[in-house]
Amino acid sequence: MTNLKIKLGKRIQSLRKSQGITQENFSEILGLDISSLSKIETGRNYPSPENLEKIAAALNVEEKDLYNFQDFFTNQEYLEKILKNIKIIETDQNKLRFLYKITNDLL
């Protein structure tokens, strides 16, 4: 499975659940059998362009918004990204101080 298919599936599932739509109801709305929808949401299948259009319309989002994975990182992915950013700024004392202040204020 490609990472894109998995992320797209998680995004679709998350949007569906946030709107209180069950997988069964969503499959009926889309005109798909529930196993096909399940395969899309788990990243085993990629939706056809036609189904992608139906999914976006049913979720009341633009198709491009289905690919907004920014808010759907795992904790491990967030940690990796944070550590990468720290590595980039580790020689800049002002930026490190600023980062410390921000993180300290969060705690």
Identify the structural domains of the chain with CATH numbers, from first to last. 3-71 (1.10.260.40), 73-106 (no CATH)
Rounded to 5°, angle at Cα 41 from 37 and 47: 65
Helix, strand and coil in the chain, % to nearest 5? 75, 0, 25
pLDDT in tens, the chain (107 residues): 568 899 999 999 989 998 999 999 999 999 999 999 999 999 999 999 999 999 999 999 999 999 988 766 667 878 888 999 999 999 999 999 999 999 999 88
3-state secondary structure of 34: helix
Q: Tell me, what amino acid is at 4?
A: L
**3-class secondary structure, 17:** helix
Encoding tokens for residue 58? 């049913």
Q: What is the pTM of this model?
A: 0.66
Q: What pLDDT does residue 61 have?
A: 95
Distance of CA 70 to the CA centre of its chain: 6
